[in-house]
Structure formats: C-alpha cells, structure tokens
Amino acid sequence: MKLIVANWKMYPKTVAEAKAIFSGIKKGASRAKHTRVVVCPPHLFVGGLVAAAGKARIAIGGQNAFFDDEGAKTGETSPAALKNIGATYAIVGHSERRALGETDEVIAAKACAAVRNKLSVILCVGEHNRDEHGAYFAEVSAQLRASLAGFPKTEAKRLVVAYEPIWAIGAKAKRAATPPDFCEMSILIRRYLTELFGKKVAFTIPILYGGSVDDRNALPFLVEGGADGLLVGRVSLDVGKFNTIITLADTCK
C-alpha cells in the first residue's frame, strides 16, 4: 500500500478551482485499490474539501498546525480545530516552513500536538546540500532526533516521514535526486526509527520521497528507490499528472 500525498502549497486561489482539482483527484483516488491518497490544500479549503470528499477513499490534511490547541495566537491553526473540521493528517516541518524560521524544537512540539489530537503527522526532513564526506547523513539524523524529541512511542502508527532533499528541489537544483539517493537516506531514517521505536514498529512507518516528483520519476522512486509513497508539490495541482502518479503507485500494491 503506497501513500501519495498532494501538497498544494498556496494554490489555487479560488474555491472553484480547488473544488475542480479535488474532484478530478477524487476520481483518480477512487479507482485506486492499493493506494492511499491524501490532499493537503491551503487551510482555507480544508472544510470544503472534507465535505466534497464525502465517503470517498481520500483523506484531507493541513500543511501545518500549531503546537497549542487554543490561545491568543493570531493567524495560527489549532490542531484540534483541524481535526474537528475533518482533516486526518498534518504536514509538519516542511522545508519551506523551516526556511521561514521554524526550528526543530517548534517542529517537535507541533508533531506532538498533532498526534495528541489524533492527526497523522507527515514529518519532513532533508539536507540542504550533499557533500562528498557524507555530512548530510549527520544533518538528517540531527533533524530527525530533534524533530521527534518527546514524540510518544505509542503514536508511531500516526507517523509518516517524508524525505525532501532541498538541493534537488526547484529550478536552481544542481541535479535531480535519484532513487539510489533516496534509498540510501531511507536506510538511515529507518535505522533511526528502529532506535526510537524498535524494529517491528519502525518498519511500519512509511518513508516518502518528496522533491520534484512528477509522473516520470514517480515509479522509479517507488520501485527502484523502495519509497513507501510520495509527497508531491507542484504536480499535485495537475489532475492528469497526479492521477497518473496514483495509477502508477497502485501497480506497486
């Protein structure tokens, strides 16, 4: 069972477009037999898409959630409210939020708050650069350690880790990340999860690849790279391409 997550970022800009894109993805998700699909729209659209999802096999997630359930925190999203409106996932620690100044400490608190509210957490980690000495392994290990500080062992079933190599994302990327790049890092991530949760539990935690995924590289990351799923940004707003990714993932079982 692969997990395919759409991260819409700040798109689209109208409810009508959000509903149209979602309706297309819902059809693709409904055809899939072995694939779980999660759509993370801007928070403004979460309630509308939960209603549009109805009983279909598609989940809705937030792109972020605060570490307190309530309070005088202007502009923040309560994880309790996110859960109550019908979301079941929250992305935490996305590289774009880390770039806005979010620290591992804040991310750890957000991950705990999300699972406290029975949301599944998609925790993002990833190094800035790849150096020939392998310092990037230490960077990702440190991120994992700090971002999972205090994470309750009993909530491992609600944890998903997404690996996003920052150097491979965007137009200025030096090169694309490859399935072997992912495979190597997923071994390190799995080893750390084993230390934290024990082997049996660690092997049930999905590790996703998320960095410039499209309909051409999706299958190689899933098959050759052994990814348990994908976190898809830009391409998740293109119904045709995203549904192709779902169909490809479904061939993997």
Contacting residues toward ligand PGA, per CB under 6 A: 7, 164, 169, 210-213, 231-234
Cβ closest to ligand PGA, residue 130 vs residue 234: 234
Give me the half-sphere count of Cα atoms (radius 13 Å) on the Cβ side of residue 213: 36
Q: How far is the CB of 39 from ligand PGA (least distance, A)?
A: 12
Q: Which of 17, 43, 70, 94 is catalytic?
A: 94
Q: Which is nearer to ligand PGA, 11 or 137 (CB)?
A: 11
CB of 21 to ligand PGA, least distance (A): 15
Tokens describing residue 34: 């072995």
| Burial tier of 170 (Cβ tally within 10 Å: 0-12, 13-18, 19+) | exposed
Locate 220 and state its tokens: 């190689």
Q: Which long-range contacts (CB under 8 A, 24 or more apart) does 75-80 make?
A: 77/43, 79/110, 79/113, 79/114, 79/116, 79/117, 79/119, 80/117
* Identity of the residue numbered 84: N
Q: Which residue is nearest to ligand PGA (CB)?
A: 233
Task: Give min distance, CB of 226 to ligand PGA, in A.
Answer: 19
CA–CA gap between residue 195 and residue 141 (Å, rounded): 12
Nearest Cα to 126, choosing from 105, 88, 101, 99?
A: 99
User: Which one of the listed residues 70, 96, 105, 164 is annotated catalytic?
Assistant: 164
Q: Which is nearer to ligand PGA, 94 or 197 (CB)?
A: 94
Is-cis flag, bond preceding 180, omega within 30?
Answer: no
The yes-or-no answer on residue 164 being catalytic is yes
For this structure, is 43 an active site residue? Answer: no
Contact between residue 38 and residue 89 where contact means Cβ atoms under 8 Å apart: yes
Q: How far apart are CA 248 and CA 55, in angstroms?
A: 23
- State the nearest-atom distance from the C-beta of 43 to ligand PGA, in Å: 16
Give whichever of 164 and 215 is closer to ligand PGA, judged by the CB atom.
164
Q: Which is nearer to ligand PGA, 80 or 222 (CB)?
A: 222
Closest contact distance (angstroms) between CB of 64 and ligand PGA is 12
- The residues assigned a catalytic role are 94, 164
